[in-house]
Structure 1
């Protein structure tokens, strides 16, 4: 179904995208994969006819010139994603320009609010457009249901066995339960669109799982057991 289309991974920061990228990479020959590090760059002119997969922090709609293409992405609970993103920048990247801010301040900095919505719309804070765009994606998964997401993308893409390890796990990240109510409120206000988008996406994802046929449900449970 998607054999002759370029796969574009809309990798939203801190949504288990690095883990999924590693899996996607193994499904192509190295010369067929193009990786993007900065979503602000227009890299279409650098992509050749051999490219079958574009990985990295891509925004939706950046690759109109590539011809037939499909999009895949992962979405995460917005509060957890912002917390993870902040501590990743502060302790893993050691970025003092961001680390000098508190978590609540970080959540409100220009460019960071509603990041999931903006990646899905091509950098516009438009919830309706984000939902409409997601409906056209070949696949979107939920970070908190990563194993189930892998199963569904495997079925969607017709891939065989999948093996993975978690990447970019930050041991210094604080758990949501330890964050003050005031800070959580700041994050919620700054990411109101993302919260609504995530709620829609999670409900849609859960419905997909419920609607699996009995054989696929058994296959999913068996596969989950094999990963333990």
Structure 2
């Protein structure tokens, strides 16, 4: 029997392409969130509380869980394998900024912020998804937004992120997705990853100073990414 899957979809890591390929492996009622849940959320992933409520009532039927959710969401799908894709942090952040601009953020504001040494979005996003001191099982999780919370102990968060990453059964990098297809095939999932959700708008052309700002705000993610590369060999 094929195992259940949780795909911890980190933004701008080619995750939409992977999610689309995986969704084709399941019947609609086996997927959370399904297309109707996303439609009710204006095309985005639904609020975590909606997902957890759905899983509480339909856990026996759900076989694929996916979303921009902290890694602790995997604990709500019994017996699942976890999938994680990391991307080189500077390129991931640039892609994220391009997407924010396409959704309405002012381009000049982004460039001026970077010139001033300010990153106009969340920093160290990948580390936060894996290593933030956060758990959906905690009663106060809604009052602790893990993407916006100040990082009080950077080294501790990085260590948690690396430790948690090592527990993920299927780890891959955006820069080389072929191993993901091979690993999934070992579990009976024969997928072919296409290209989806590409930002076709004008891309940011950044100066060395602006790139340096992005690097400085994502030092933890850079160390996490290097740890992933070492694990994968």
TM class by shorter-chain length? Answer: 0.7 to 0.9
2:54 counterpart (24, 46, 52): 46
The aligned counterpart of 1:60 is 71
| 1:11 and 1:55 in contact (8 A); partners too | yes
Q: What TM-score does the superposition give when structure 2 sets the normalisation length?
A: 0.74
Are positions 1:159 and 2:159 aligned together? Answer: no
Runs (4+) of structure 1 exceeding 4 A deviation are: none
Match for residue 70 of structure 1?
81
**What is the TM-score when the length of structure 1 is the normalising length?**
0.76
Q: How does 1:1-228 map to 2 (within 5 A)?
A: 3-4=2-3, 6-35=4-33, 37-38=44-45, 41-42=48-49, 43-47=51-55, 48=58, 49-91=60-102, 93-96=103-106, 100-102=109-111, 104=114, 108-109=119-120, 112-122=122-132, 123=146, 126-155=157-186, 157-160=187-190, 162-172=191-201, 174=203, 178-205=205-232, 207=233
Q: Which has the higher helix share?
A: 1
TM-align CA RMSD: 2.6
Q: Flag structure 2 segments of 5+ consecutive residues without an equivalent.
A: 39-43, 133-145
Q: CA deviation at 1:40?
A: 5.6
2:108 and 2:69 map into 1 onto residues whose CA distance is 25
Q: CA deviation at 1:153?
A: 3.2
| C-alpha contact 1:44 1:66 (8 A) present in aligned 2 | no
Counterpart Cα distance in 2 of 1:70 and 1:107? 37
Q: Contact (CA 8 Å) 2:131, 2:159: kept in 1 or not?
A: no
Unaligned runs of 5+ in 1: 208-228
Label 1:147 to 1:106 Cα distance change in 2 as closer, same or farther (>3 A): farther
CA distance in 1, matches of 2:174, 2:118: 20
